[in-house]
Structure 1
């Protein structure tokens, strides 16, 4: 059966990183062969109106008396497809429009929001003019029988032209003609994808970024 590609806006990969939490960044390895769907799998199309990807990032200061500064926001999914058999995810693809990236924590400060979003979309970070989309292709799915999540997903995250394989956990549910995928907050290292901007004005951009997927797909 046809191979299903998965594209995801690197989930608003705002590589301003902060992200609390004690977990280490997920390992980013070489890209792998993408997964395929079985002939009897059901295909679902991502509902871009209700699906979202989110990010959290931040910076610290050389002057340690200043508190750490964090930001958070989202980026819109442009398209996506997943295949499921007997409630188990088999393959899929998400596409996100990097030009829709925004920082929600600045919503009440439009001038600051415009300045921050403009910088994060620039060549220092997302470089959306050159890379208007980010991609994620599922390469492996493992069903989990214990813990808070029922699925482990591995896939090639192609961000700014740098494909890396990453793994995270999620809850996948198939019910009433819909599939939902709600991931854990997982941490990536921005430098794995060539984002090396260090900061300025006495600030230091943290390398870690938290990402989270909340996807709903409808039966095709």
Structure 2
């Protein structure tokens, strides 16, 4: 009996440890900074909005939801294989829920709720914006920093990314999975940062994101 209990405890500890290890790190978040100004000698690329997406995942004690958001416009400037400027416009009305089949009532219910003033208030704030402020190599990783505006709040975040090119006219910018603390952008619904006595009815402040941007040379 003791042996079985020990094995069970070891299994639980292993699963817990593995889950913690797999959790995406929160982006370093600071006050806003001046936008990067690209030199005229840099190469400019327009974001291909049909091929670019932002993956998202939110969680609560009973499970997770995930989906994608589209970009409506954007530009990247590069020089010597690094990012020297750029700006993305994120179309918040394009929020898609993927973990619930589109034909099910729950899909539309969740999508509508995310767009409501409980969360992102898309009617008042149809766009989120990411504007590049810096990019530098940190311990072998390219760290991209930018001012992220959601609703009426802007913070600067730094995230690890990879910049690659498939040919002379196309580049791809891909981030590692990272999280932002939505409470820092005043997204309050179900947040323990704003409401007490939520019990197990709370929704995690962490939103996991992954950026996939394809851009074509101008």
| TM tier relative to shorter chain | 0.7 to 0.9
- Does the CA contact (< 8 Å) of 1:88 and 1:143 recur in 2? no
Pairing 1:10-29 to 2, within 5 Å after superposition: 21-29=22-30
1:77-156 matches, cutoff 5 A: 77-144=71-138, 146=140, 149=141, 151-156=142-147
The structure that is strand-richer by fraction is 2
> Is 1:172–2:145 an aligned residue pair?
no
Q: Which residues in structure 2 correspond to 1:13-52 (within 5 Å)?
A: 21-52=22-53
Partner secondary structure for residue 142 of structure 1: strand
Is 2:211 aligned against 1:219?
A: no
Q: CA RMSD for the aligned pairs?
A: 2.0
Q: CA deviation at 1:28?
A: 2.1
TM-score (norm 2): 0.82
Q: 1:209: which partner in 2?
A: 207
- Contact conserved, 1:29 with 1:164, CA < 8 A, in 2? yes
Any runs of at least 4 consecutive aligned residues in structure 1 with deviations exceeding 3 A, and if so which? 19-24, 199-202
Q: TM-score if structure 1 supplies the norm length? A: 0.82
The total of aligned residue pairs comes to 192
Structure 1 unaligned segments of length 5 or more: list them. 1-18, 61-67
- Which has the greater radius of gyration? 2
Higher RCO (CA-CA < 8 Å; seq separation 6+): 1
Greater helix fraction, Structure 1 or Structure 2: 2
Residues 104-113 or 196-205, more deviating? 196-205
